[in-house]
Structure 1
Amino acid sequence: MHLSTHQKRPAGTPALNRVEAVTITHPERVIDAASGATKLDLARYYACAAPHILPFLRNRPVYLLRAPEGIDGERFFQKHRGRMSIPGMRLFDRSLDPDHAPLMAVESAHALAGVAQIGCIELHVCSATADRIDRPDCMVFDLDPGPELPWSAIVKGARQTRALLDELGLRSFLKTSGGKGLHLVVPLARRHDWDAVTDFSRAVARHLADTQPQEFTAIMGNENRGGKIYIDYLRNQRHASTVAPYSVRARPGLPVATPLAWDELNHVTSAAMWHIGTLPDRLAGLARDPWEDYFNTRQRLSVSMKKQLGM
């Protein structure tokens, strides 16, 4: 299936402009000049990807990156619904974030179409579910390369990070960021609080930077990155978030953050390799889900692991 980003779409016919029972207004609006993709194309992509993305959104606060006029216009994060009515949106109890309006959940194809209707392009998620918001269920390492690094260096960095996690006894799952780098996601049992997960992920990042200083840095800032990969572990903090698997990115071409099997990495050519026009074909052609064991993998951060990292 191709959600073509180049073909003309018939617009103005109400039946054609409805996606998952949501009427897409201004369906012909081009939201990405590089590909010609429209608002309707975006909504149709999210409808197609719904069975794959929804398991990662269920019962989990979601933060919306909105670009109502397209990726070249104003963009902003929305963590709370406010006064806007969003089709299909579920609201969490105010106790999750008592000083603000309720946090939001996107848990159906109808709601995915609803957020596309309001100009949401990216979906970012909290690393904990609402029922145990104080206990994250994953740990994320965002490998953010310096601009001069070739793709081969990023691939090497991902393998080196995986090797350390393997030595610690932690299984990691890989996805493209849809931007410039790669994400390694470590599923966790919900036994550790945010501070414990942040401290552990910082120790992993510092270990890599200390043992392979020519290739990694654990210090934020472009001035520290020259020719290196910054290991962003700060996504493991309580109010941080990570782009969801299968989310579109608000970048030229509308690339998608794409889960991978580790043995696919040899054949990946960039972090933006798949986009809304090609990702549906990838999904249709997969013999197996590259993250099929993700939700059955729950790991603890043990004392022996901490000792290995010098904590």
Structure 2
Amino acid sequence: MPAAIKGTITVDGQEITITNPEKLLWPDCGITKRIYLEKLAALSPYLLRYCRDRLLTVIRYPHGVSGMSFYQKNAPDPLPAFVQTAVHENINYIKLQGLAELIWLGNLAALEFHPSLHYVGSDLPCEWMIDLDPSREVEPRIMEATAIVGTVLTSLGLSSVPKTSGATGVQIIVPIETGVTFDGLRKIGHFVGRYVTEKHPNLFTLERLKKNRGDKIYFDYLQHYSGKTLAAPYTPRARPLATVSTPLLWEEVRQNVSPTDFHLLNIEERLQRMGDLLEKVPPQPVQQLIAKLP
């Protein structure tokens, strides 16, 4: 993308108007809208892979991360002709199909991208995600907890990829074969969650109400369901340090990396060096395990 973005630019043959390119979106990092759009373009081959053909919810911060924000599910009006939408349960969702749509949303100060967990027109999950959600803003045990869950999944014969949420938590992603249902994933999720909470009662909890969790990490297997969303792999997050939801190596988990280690100012170099870690894991035999559960 050009060094200075003003007025109208052309992206994949589509004209997009860019407004206030020097507005600071992440003041602590010096990231302006212009820099943000450049970083989005670099992230696009990875981020789009996990948003395309899904129902998209974005979180917009018109005045940057220190200002007010709002969730946007319904597509705004007017809508550029190149932006596709899909209606689901009376909501007209945006479909994030390509770079032009991504840059258009970035110009609207959409700083977070939360896709549905199923494709448009389908009621089957795209993958299985376990969400480890700390009860504290700073949780030094989050990688310890992640490693424990990863070990349990390995013992079940499942390969998985941990990713930082970009906020305080971690999600563990298991690629799945077509045909697995959300209810089936809830069944195996409850099985794994109950096991780790019984083995590590001071670390994990299945308690849904945050006020009742104490300092324990919530093993959330319920969020992964039709109609719900989780932060996409490679989405930026509206946190002060411009963190990015980043897939990790299990070795990095064992090294106790911090979610704040991965952000808009260094993610491009990491992706050039390591590629998409999620893409390297084939679909896992989850359905076979579900069938064996009582």
Same-fold status (TM-score > 0.5): yes
Residue 297 (structure 1) aligned with residue 283 (structure 2): yes
Q: How does 1:1-311 map to 2 (within 5 A)?
A: 13-14=6-7, 21-86=15-80, 88-92=82-86, 94=87, 97-100=88-91, 102-131=92-121, 133-147=122-136, 150-151=139-140, 153-267=141-255, 269-286=257-274, 288-294=275-281, 296-302=282-288, 306-307=292-293, 311=294
Q: Which letter maps to 2:201? A: P
Q: Distance in 2 between matches of 1:300 and 1:186?
A: 9
Q: Cα gap change, 1:257/1:88 in structure 2, threshold over 3 Å: closer, same or farther?
A: farther
Q: Which letter maps to 1:55? A: R
Q: Which letter maps to 1:297? A: P
When you count strand as a share of all residues, which structure comes out higher? 2
Q: Distance in 1 between matches of 2:137 and 2:60?
A: 29
Residue 268 of structure 1: CA displacement? 5.2
Check whether the contact 2:54–2:116 (CA below 8 A) recurs between aligned residues. Answer: yes
Q: Distance in 1 between matches of 2:111 and 2:161?
A: 24
Check whether the contact 1:48–1:280 (CA below 8 A) recurs between aligned residues. Answer: yes
How far does the alpha carbon of each residue in 1:108-155 deviate from its partner, in whole angstroms, 9 at most, with x for none?
111110110111000011111124x2111212111112327653x211
Residue 189 of structure 1: CA displacement? 1.9
Between Structure 1 and Structure 2, how many residues are aligned? 292
Q: Cα gap change, 1:137/1:83 in structure 2, threshold over 3 Å: closer, same or farther?
A: same
Q: Cα gap change, 1:86/1:206 in structure 2, threshold over 3 Å: closer, same or farther?
A: farther
RMSD: 2.5
Q: Cα gap change, 1:103/1:304 in structure 2, threshold over 3 Å: closer, same or farther?
A: closer
Deviates more, 1:228-237 or 1:238-247: 228-237
Residue 169 of structure 1: CA displacement? 2.2
- Corresponding residue for residue 6 of structure 1: none
Residue 24 of structure 1: CA displacement? 1.7
Q: Cα gap change, 1:272/1:87 in structure 2, threshold over 3 Å: closer, same or farther?
A: farther
Q: Distance in 2 between matches of 1:200 and 1:52?
A: 28
How far does the alpha carbon of each residue in 1:61-106 deviate from its partner, in whole angstroms, 9 at most, with x for none?
12111111211222111122142415742212x3xx1423x22211
Check whether the contact 2:128–2:185 (CA below 8 A) recurs between aligned residues. Answer: yes
When normalised by structure 2's length, the TM-score is 0.89
Q: Distance in 2 between matches of 1:218 and 1:19?
A: 45
**Secondary structure at 2:287 match in 1:** coil
Residue 267 of structure 1: CA displacement? 4.3
Residue 277 of structure 1: CA displacement? 1.0
Where structure 1 has 5 or more consecutive residues not aligned to the other structure, the ranges are 4-8
Q: Distance in 2 between matches of 1:195 and 1:204?
A: 14
Check whether the contact 1:87–1:114 (CA below 8 A) recurs between aligned residues. Answer: no
**Secondary structure at 1:301 match in 2:** helix
Q: Which letter maps to 1:299? A: P
Q: Which letter maps to 2:221? A: Y
Residue 12 of structure 1: CA displacement? 7.0
When normalised by structure 1's length, the TM-score is 0.84
Q: Distance in 1 between matches of 2:30 and 2:292?
A: 49
| Identity of matched residues, % | 27
